[in-house]
Amino acid sequence: MSSLEKRLAVFRKLPLRAQLATIVSSLANKTLSQNKTYIDSLEKIHGSCLANATPLEKLAYDKAKESIIDEKLPKENNK
């Protein structure tokens, strides 16, 4: 298993809020944000996990989503 595959496997096990924070942090990182394949993989896994989340998990995620995005994403990217 490659290093990327290992990172993605661990990412899949994270709670939804932690996944979102990882995506937002990666987008804010100058180096990671240039790796389109990596970002696309994170977003695909996150979408799949979100689609399979319980209503309670989605509620907790929705409550945290706005604050995570506001805190971590540079203002020029936060639309």
Q: What is the pLDDT of residues 48-62, one digit of tens each?
A: 999 999 999 999 899
Distance in angstroms (rounded) separating the CA atoms of residues 61 and 38: 22
The mean pLDDT value for 8-35 works out to 95
Nearby residues of 32 by Cβ (< 8 Å), 6 or more positions away = 26, 38, 39
User: What is the chain's mean pLDDT, rounded?
Assistant: 88
Distance in angstroms (rounded) separating the CA atoms of residues 14 and 18: 6
pLDDT of residue 71: 67
Distance in angstroms (rounded) separating the CA atoms of residues 24 and 29: 9
pTM beyond cutoff 0.75: yes
State percent of the chain over pLDDT 70.
87
Distance in angstroms (rounded) separating the CA atoms of residues 58 and 50: 7
Minimum mean pLDDT among 18-22, 34-38, 64-68: which range? 64-68
Question: At residue 39, what are phi and psi to the nearest 5 degrees?
Answer: -60, -45
pLDDT of residue 78: 45
